[in-house]
Amino acid sequence: MAAAPAKIAVRVQREPFDQATEICHLSRLADVGAVVSFTGICRADGGRLAGLELEHYPGMAEAEIGRVAAEAAARWPILGATAIHRFGRIAAGEDIVLVVTASAHRAAAFAAAEFLMDWLKTRAPFWKREIFADGTAGAWVEAKDADDAAAARW
Amino acid sequence: MKLLYFAWIRERTGRAEEDVELPADVTTLGDLVAWLRQRGEEFEHAFADPAVVRAAIDRTHAPLTAPIAGAREIAFFPPMTGG
């Protein structure tokens, strides 16, 4: 019998998300033995930043994360994957991105979660700019070669 | 054809989107960048280094060598920094 297709959910939203709810949702899928989650959080950078402004390409952002999630499901035997990415003004200390993967065993869940984040960072059309502690807009964050290298190893 | 600009490319061109009529000899994304650059200082500034510009045709990543025939929406943006 062929395995059921992985339950993939992708959301791009301004509003905060609840990690516990999302993790719990995937952990309840049939035959799940392992759930791995990653949360990306907005840093204050030692008090220098009030937060970040996240710009995105509506439509393409969801589509691209969906393609990355489908690729993860094709590479590993995952039962579910959820990816949520926020846009707009995000205050220091708030969550920016969440990736949750569920599988029968931990190896696939770990690998798929890391792959999803590495590819999401280099493929999904989002751009960050810094907002200083005094509220003024700072520079656009530059892409890192290390992120490209992390994605290329897969 | 609809063009979209994001992040600092949007700021440098001074617009988020526009509709353009392209000359017949503009057939690839690279041709389009070259055509945009001769439209004024703001475009010359935005596309000063084509090597750092990323593009998407109809919401799918595409290299500057990609043909643009039949495209409805082309977007230009800097390397992505989400996550």
Residue A131 lies in a domain: yes
Is the predicted pLDDT of residue A3 greater than 90, yes or no?
no
Mean per-residue pLDDT, A1-16: 88
Report chain B residues whose CB lies below 8 A from the CB of A61: 82
Residue type, B74: I
Predicted pLDDT at A4: 73
Report chain B residues whose CB lies below 8 A from the CB of A127: 6-7, 77-78, 80-82
Q: What is the CATH number of the domain that holds A60?
A: 3.90.1170.40
Predicted pLDDT at A146: 87
Residue A22 lies in a domain: yes
Mean per-residue pLDDT, A96-119: 98
Predicted pLDDT at A43: 95
Residue A153 lies in a domain: no
CA distances from A34 to A4, A81, A84, A132 (A): 17, 12, 19, 39
Q: Is B24 helix (H, G, I), strand (E, B) or coil?
A: coil
Number of domains making up chain A: 1
Residue range of the domain that includes A11: 7-135
Residue A142 lies in a domain: no
Residue A62 lies in a domain: yes
Residue A143 lies in a domain: no
Find tokens 């590993």 and name the residue: A76
Distance from CA of B78 to the nearest CA of A (A): 8
What pTM, to 2 d.p., does this model score? 0.94
Residue A154 lies in a domain: no
Residue A79 lies in a domain: yes
Q: Where are the beta strands (DSSP E) in chain A?
A: 7-13, 34-41, 49-56, 78-86, 88-91, 95-103, 126-132, 137-140
Distance from CA of B69 to the nearest CA of A (A): 20
Q: Is A134 helix (H, G, I), strand (E, B) or coil?
A: coil
How many alpha carbons lie under 13 Å from residue B31 in its C-beta half-sphere?
A: 11
Predicted ipTM of the assembly: 0.95
